[in-house]
Amino acid sequence: MRILYVEDEKFLADAVKHNLEKSGFDVDLAYDGEEGLNAAIKDIYDCVVLDIMLPKLSGIDILERMREKKISTPVIMLSALSEVEDKVRGLNSGADDYLAKPFKTVELVARINALARRPAAVQDRKISYAGLEYNIDERALNGVSMTTKEADIIHELLKTPEKVVKKEYLLSKVWGGEAYGEDNYIEVYISRLRKLLKELHSDVKITTVRGFGYKIIKG
């Protein structure tokens, strides 16, 4: 499960990330509200954990903007024990759960797992770019389904359009531990994806940045 944890106390953030990873979660950290909101919008998570008191944007601001954008990922709010008012505001803004600080990681793990067991809300998990629409659940690009690895690659490229995605990063994301010595496979999949883009009559191209990686761009 992928978790986004937005927390400005770096020491706490790093410690909780470490413990959550030991429990088998994939954790992305953001250290301020803006960074947190960007990650919550751009990426797909199974659960978002938001501290309330954050620089730039509060946890409640992030939650409200996520819900405005119809992102229905379960959210757990964190706040100091005394801030009862924050709890009420958080839950009113559409948080799914609330945990008082200080907390034990086992408690947080239990809350995350409880939310994950809830029936998933029907949601549009899609990324759009320049006339392309990638459906994450169906692994389909403009309605055409792809193999798992093709889908994973296009997903990674579409997360940061017009920016170079490093080849090593793609290898580790898509092939994980099996990545060693498989760089040529990527080329094969990239050329299949280029063919698919052509078939879709898309203006979008995947360009090779020699010695570095790939990026997806408009025409």
Chain residues in the site for Ca ion (CB under 5 A): 8, 51, 53
In the bound state with Ca ion, the residue whose beta carbon lies nearer, of 54 and 66, is 54
Give the separation between CA 117 and CA 107, rounded to whole angstroms. Answer: 16
| Distance from the Cα of residue 15 to its chain's centroid | 20
Shortest Å distance, C-beta 78 to Ca ion: 8
DSSP secondary structure of the chain: -EEEEE-S-HHHHHHHHHHHHHTT-EEEEESSHHHHHHHHHHS--SEEEEESS-SSS-HHHHHHHHHHTT----EEEEEETT-HHHHHHHHHTT-SEEEEES--HHHHHHHHHHHHHSPPPP---EEEETTEEEETTTTEETTEE--HHHHHHHHHHHHSTTS-EEHHHHIIIIIGGGGTT-HHHHHHHHHHHHHHHHHTT-SEEEEEETTTEEEEEE-
In the bound state with Ca ion, the residue whose beta carbon lies nearer, of 51 and 152, is 51
In the bound state with Ca ion, the residue whose beta carbon lies nearer, of 97 and 150, is 97
Shortest Å distance, C-beta 54 to Ca ion: 6
Residue sitting closest to Ca ion (CB): 53
In the bound state with Ca ion, the residue whose beta carbon lies nearer, of 35 and 51, is 51
Shortest Å distance, C-beta 16 to Ca ion: 12
Shortest Å distance, C-beta 55 to Ca ion: 8
In the bound state with Ca ion, the residue whose beta carbon lies nearer, of 34 and 133, is 34
Shortest Å distance, C-beta 75 to Ca ion: 16
In the bound state with Ca ion, the residue whose beta carbon lies nearer, of 35 and 152, is 35
Shortest Å distance, C-beta 8 to Ca ion: 5
